[in-house]
Structure formats: C-alpha cells, structure tokens
Amino acid sequence: MNPAIDLSTSVDAVAPTRKMRCDDVHRDPGGGGINVARVLRRLGADALAIYLAGGAAGKLLERLVEREAITGLVIDGRHETRENFTVFERESGEQYRFVLPGPQVDEAVLQDTLSAIGGLETGGFLVASGSLPAGVPARFYADVARIASSRELKLVLDSSGAALREGLLGTPFLIKPNLRELGELAGGTLAGEEAARGAAAKLVEEGRVEMVALTLGADGALLA
C-alpha cells in the first residue's frame, strides 16, 4: 500500500551546508510487497505485485517493475507515488536513508485494492508487507486477511504496530515480527530467546495465527 521509487547514490563524505557531488543515481522499484516479488522472481518463482501508482513517478514505478519481469496489477493511487533516497558515504562506509511519507490514500482506492484482492485466483499465498500510508485504517490488513481466507489464500503478514495487531484479527497464516514487535503483541518486553519462543507459541496456541517467523537480526530467526 505504500510503494516507492528507491533512489540510491554515493558520495565521498556527507557534510552539512556544502554541495556534495554525487555519483550516478540508481533507481529501483521499492516497497514491502514489490521487494518480496523481486526476490521471488530472482529465485525463479512467479509473482504478481498488486500496488498503488500515481502521477509521473507512478508511471516510472510501473516501468521499473516491468524491468524486473514482475507481473503487476496496478491500482490508480490518484496521488503522486513517493520516492526514497539513500546515500552511501565512502569515507565511513555508512549509509544514510531518507524515507518520505506516502501520499494520502482515499477510501475509493482502498476499495479498489480490496476488490483486486477479491478477484485473485484461489489457492496459493498472498503477502501483505510494509507500512500503511495516511488514510489507511489499521484494520486494513484484517480486511485483507478475511478476503484472503475466502479465496483460500494463505496470508503472510509483515507489518508492525496497530496494523499488525489489527491484522491478527483476521487470523493470517503467518506473521513475521521482530523481537520488539512480538513483545508488543505479548504485552511486554521479552527477555531472552525462551520468552520469545513462548510468546510466539502462545499466539499459535490461541489460534490467532498458524505460524510465527520471528526475526532476530544477526542472531537469525525462529519459527513457531
């Protein structure tokens, strides 16, 4: 629901006020769902990306998605698609990431998106990934989960905060929280791997989700 054009470049060093001469800019299609589709295509799997696009930037996003050999189902977002900007600093090896807010999403666009999901073929997996832009209620992913269930689609939900909590009301197939996000669902800070395992298992036992893929950063991941 919040795709973007990801621009990236590099400079020798980042400094305030002065002009910094950048290398050539590289443009990629971005956003949680689109990035999932990109990885699936590179692994040799078919993927359909459902995403919003609007304005001149939206047309460019469509071309970038096509360049990745991804089949797209484009929803008219009615507002200009956002851009994000990443700068790599050679001197330090650090990366600076500037993330712009997404455009306001109207109710009509929400309904168009839900209708598109409702028209998908039955069976398979549906991945809902990323942040929700302004105008999209937290319950949106719960609505997506219910439609997915009616189409016999297994919903994989990768979100956070209220969107993740509300999404659980639709009983998705799998969620992918990190330790902090799982702690929020469990109602407190999780101290250690055993506490995390227990919290993930409890979500499954309560029937709120079928599987939990808990990401632990450099320490890997757990599947419950």
- pLDDT classification of 128: cutoffs 50, 70, 90: very high
Instruction: Give the residue-averaged pLDDT of 127-139.
Output: 91
What pLDDT is attached to residue 76? Answer: 97
Domain boundaries, the chain: 1-10+25-67+80-103
Enter the tokens of residue 104.
Answer: 């306001």
What pLDDT is attached to residue 118? Answer: 96
Cβ atoms of 37 and 49 closer than 8 Å? yes
Query: CA-to-CA distance for 39 and 58, rounded, in angstroms?
Result: 21
What pLDDT is attached to residue 115? Answer: 97
- Is residue 190 pLDDT above 90, yes or no? no
- Is residue 34 pLDDT above 90, yes or no? yes
- pLDDT classification of 119: cutoffs 50, 70, 90: very high
Query: CA-to-CA distance for 147 and 170, rounded, in angstroms?
Result: 9
Query: CA-to-CA distance for 214 and 223, rounded, in angstroms?
Result: 6
> How many residues does this entry show for the chain?
224
- When the pLDDT of each residue in the chain is averaged and rounded to a whole number, the result is 95
What pLDDT is attached to residue 109? Answer: 96
Query: CA-to-CA distance for 169 and 139, rounded, in angstroms?
Result: 9
- Is residue 220 pLDDT above 90, yes or no? no
Q: Strand pairing partners for 27? A: 7
Query: CA-to-CA distance for 82 and 109, rounded, in angstroms?
Result: 16
More confident of the two residues 177 and 192: 177
Element (H, E) at 213: strand 211-215
Q: What is the dihedral of CA 58, 87, 158, 176, to 10 degrees?
A: 160
